[in-house]
Structure 1
């Protein structure tokens, strides 16, 4: 257990370092794109700068969450800051969608009044953004698959790299073919892509924050497995929720057929823990034993 705990902290420290590097890179890119967007008159470049600025905010939030989650539990915070990363993922996904809506409004307005744009500056700044965001994407990719917070930061950077590629293509088309309206079309496409990428993460993080039952946990099957254990009469008042990326909790009341001893209950409890961990990947359970108690025996009880 000690080795796994140490590995977890090494993983978090590496994530924190990579986030810091990405923050510095994106601040530099944002400043360059804002100056370049104003100078060239490119809405696509300014929209990419706005997205990059949202990247900076999201990375800072992710970094803070990464630091907080390492803090230990206390009397005032019995769970510690284990939900900090889920909250960060929710905030970051929300900003993705909000930024996208703002970009769509701006793109529609600019499409109606296309303007000539200094394409050379757009091209060079988009190349710089692609290189900077591409490096940041590689830094965070390894941690994005198993951590919602890191995934939210990774998605911000990945979509921004894709946006910069679109801006580069637009800059080339404007330079060689004078297609000025492409700037607005690409901005609109970038915004739609942001909504698609951000919505799923926003939905999943919201479900965790609202204590919804994880999609992978079939409550009816769990109740059936527990009720098949000898001496178990009824399983009711069940709650299942996901605390963070690593922990799924189960809480339930169990009505027994006999007034059993505490040692017998411990044996049954060990059996239940083994079943729910092996079959359903639930690693924290809290069982309230009962015998002949007059209360609601429904699986789900409104508290």
Structure 2
């Protein structure tokens, strides 16, 4: 009940987004294979850690690609929301893999600190340059969509951190080549891993809030209730639930206690006013209101249903 003010992206935009993801997947497969082979030959843990991160990128990009396709599928009687949350789930999985991969890298790097190994630095330098170029292209492809879509942001962060990791590996390769400082390989691995945890945790927290149907952080329920109750004829607003379905949709459902026993046409006028208020002041674009008059139920703001 209530109007939808959501602004949907065009199919063409979605097709471009999917194509960019596919190109990024192919580039990352190339980098991963090259760095695994190079890491084994050179003995560089930083290069192997970068390859492992790239492999997680491939998996995350495939998940994002599938989620992007699913999110465009139409709703049905047994899937009334369609697959609109597929991209949120993808973001959650991708953020989780970032953190897990980072922890594994730190454990391996600690072992390397105790036993630094001689590394074929020239191979490390050339392969890190390959990683910088390929990931740089992918970052540019996904940058625009990352601002407005959590799924694309998770893929973008994977690629951005991997590009930065390749830069770190390049610096390490140069230091090993010219100064024979081999412990720098393990140090750079730890730095890369800590950065992965930093960016991964923030995305993990955001996607978890959406999946758990928490109220968006920028919305204050008490402010909404106070504003709605200023509308003439509304006595009380209770049983309030506010959640974010995906990037584009924020939903509100609530019970409204009216001062008078109004008819349906009068209620529709009040509903229009409420929808406009919620959309323009709070960004809520899906509203479901249950009207009440003299009903004996709990009038608490939040009720555990």
Answer yes or no: same fold by TM over 0.5: yes
* Structure 1 residue 216, shift from structure 2 partner: 1.3
CA distance in 2, matches of 1:18, 1:55: 14
Distance, in Å, in 1 between the alignment partners of 2:274 and 2:61 is: 41
Residue of structure 1 in register with 2:282 after alignment: 280
3-state SS of paired residue (2:10)? helix
The correspondence for 1:17, drawn from 12, 16, 19, is: 19
Residue 218 (structure 1) shift: 1.2
Match of 1:208 among 203, 207, 210: 210
Give the C-alpha shift of residue 88 in structure 1: 0.3
Q: CA deviation at 1:9?
A: 1.9
Question: 1:232: which partner in 2?
Answer: 234
Which one of the candidate residues 168, 182, 185 is aligned to 1:183? 185
Deviations 1:77-126 (A, max 9, x none): 00000000000000000000000000000000111100000001000000
Partner-residue secondary structure (3-state), 1:91: helix
For 1:168, which of 148, 164, 170 is the aligned residue?
A: 170
Aligned to 1:67: 69
- The corresponding residue for 1:126 is 128
How far did 1:228 drift?
Answer: 1.0
How far 1:10 moved relative to its partner? 1.8
Give distance in 1, aligned partners of 2:201 and 2:109.
20
Alignment of 1:1-303 (within 5 A): 5=8, 7-303=9-305
Kindly report structure 1 stretches of 4+ aligned residues shifted beyond 2 Å.
Answer: none
Give 1:269 deviation, angstroms.
Answer: 0.3
- Alpha carbon RMSD of aligned pairs, Å? 1.0
User: What is the deviation of 1:230?
Assistant: 1.1
Give distance in 2, aligned partners of 1:19 and 1:296: 49
Q: How far off is 1:11 after superposition?
A: 1.7
Unmatched segments (≥5 aa) in structure 2: none
How many angstroms apart in 2 are the aligned matches of 1:107 and 1:12?
Answer: 40
Alpha-carbon separation, structure 2, partners of 1:138 and 1:228:
48
SS at match of 1:287: strand
Within 1, Cα distance between the matches of 2:11 and 2:284? 22
TM-score for both structures, normalised by structure 2: 0.97
Q: Tell me the secondary structure at the aligned position of residue 150 of structure 1.
A: helix
Paired positions, count: 300
Match of 1:107, SS? helix
SS of match in other structure, 2:181: coil
Structure 1 distance, partners of 2:193, 2:17, is: 28
The runs of 5 or more residues in structure 1 that have no matched partner are none
Task: Give, in whole Å, the separation in 2 of the partners of 1:193 and 1:237.
Answer: 42
Residue 8 of structure 1, CA deviation:
2.6
Deviation at 1:135, TM superposition (A): 0.4
What is the CA–CA distance in structure 2 between the aligned matches of 1:109 and 1:8, rounded to whole Å? Answer: 51
Shift of 1:217: 1.0
Instruction: Tell me how far 1:158 sits from its aligned partner.
Output: 0.2
TM-score between both structures, scaled by the size of structure 1: 0.98
Distance (Å, rounded) in 2 between the aligned partners of 1:151 and 1:270: 34
| SS of residue in 2 equivalent to 1:260 | coil
Cα distance in structure 1, aligned partners of 2:191 and 2:152: 25
